[in-house]
Amino acid sequence: MLHTFVAYVEDLPGVLTRVASLFRRLNINISSLTVGRSEREGLSRLTLVCEASEVAGHRIRASLFKLENIVDVDDIAKAPNVTRELALIKVAATPRNRAQIFDLVEVFRARIVDLTSESLMIEMTGVESKIEGLIEVLREDDGRILEICRSGKMTMRRGHHTSSVLKAMGKAPDESSLQEDVTEDAAEANADVEPA
């Protein structure tokens, strides 16, 4: 099954190596990894997606938590969440066929962020499948895509839930734990709310 680990890690040298090293040792491929600043000074927030059995997932979570520089870990693939990915796609385009791409971009609710006489750059934010969809359509016209840059997944639980560390620090309302709010309905609630 697919696991989505969300971890708060200290901003220190070597932390990412420690995380990556854990997966290397288990011989598990990381399918997506994004890291960036979090709401807390000195802590980065990491979203890591990988394929592993349910039991392995529990062990990975526990092993991640054992890493000294990890402040909190959660596995939220099953929880209601919002997942986004950012893609920058550079496409060969001349003034003649530009309009056609503009239409496509409109349909996918993406944006043109750069334009030259021979190419243009599309920025798209969305769930993985939507980005795949745009890429597929663009590919229909052979050789049109010049370069693709994708961010990997960023995921956040829906609702008022927040990390247990913040909870422990008394900065957030209490909420029931992960396991309890995974119901069939909740899983379906993943149906995404589009970004404005």
Partner 1 sequence: MGRNANAKSAESHLTTPTRLTGAEIVWATLVGEGVTTVFGYPGGAILPVYDALRKFPIHHVLVRHEQGAAHMADGYSRASGKVGVAMATSGPGATNLVTGIATAMLDSIPMVCITGNVSSKVLGTDAFQEVDITGITLPVTKHNFLVNKTEDIAHAIRYAFQIAVSGRPGPVLVDITKDAQQGTAIFDFEAAKPRAYRPHPMLHVDESGLKHAAELIKNAKRPVILAGHGISESGAMEQVRTLAERAQIPVALTLLGLGSFPASHALNMGMMGMHGESWVNTAIQEADLLIACGMRFDDRVTGTPSTYALKAKKIHIEVDPAEVNKNVKVDVGLIGDLREVLEELLPRIAGRDGSAWLKTIESSKGAVSVHDIKNLPDSGHLYAAHVMHDLWRITGGDAIVATDVGQHQMWEAQYFHHETPRSLVTSGGLGTMGFALPAAIGAKMACPDKEVWVIAGDGGFQMTAAELSTIVQEKLKINIAIINNGYLGMVRQWQEFFYESNYESTPLVSPDFVKLADAHGIAGRAVTTRAEVAEAVNEARKAPGAFLLNFMVEKEDSVYPMIPAGNALHEMIRRPGKNPLVESADDE
Give least dist CB 37 to partner 1, A. Answer: 20
Given a contact cutoff of 8 angstroms between Cβ atoms, the answer to whether 92 and 144 are in contact is yes
Q: Does 13 bind partner 1 (CB under 8 A)?
A: yes
Q: Does 18 bind partner 1 (CB under 8 A)?
A: yes
Q: Which of 1, 62, 107, 137 binds partner 1 (CB under 8 A)?
A: 62
According to DSSP, the β-strands at 154-157 and 111-115 are unpaired
Given a contact cutoff of 8 angstroms between Cβ atoms, the answer to whether 118 and 111 are in contact is no
Q: Locate all alpha helices (DSSP H) within the chain, ordered by sequence.
A: 15-26, 54-66, 98-107, 128-139, 164-168, 184-188
C-alpha 18/C-alpha 2 separation (Å) is 21
C-alpha 110/C-alpha 84 separation (Å) is 13
- Of 73 and 77, nearer to partner 1 (C-beta) is 73
Q: Which of 1, 39, 42, 68 binds partner 1 (CB under 8 A)?
A: 68
Q: Which stretch binds partner 1 (CB under 8 A): 51-59, 102-110, 140-148, 187-195?
A: 51-59
Give least dist CB 67 to partner 1, A. Answer: 8
Chain residues in the site for partner 1 (CB under 8 A): 13-14, 17-18, 21, 25, 55, 58-59, 62-63, 65-68, 71-72, 164, 168
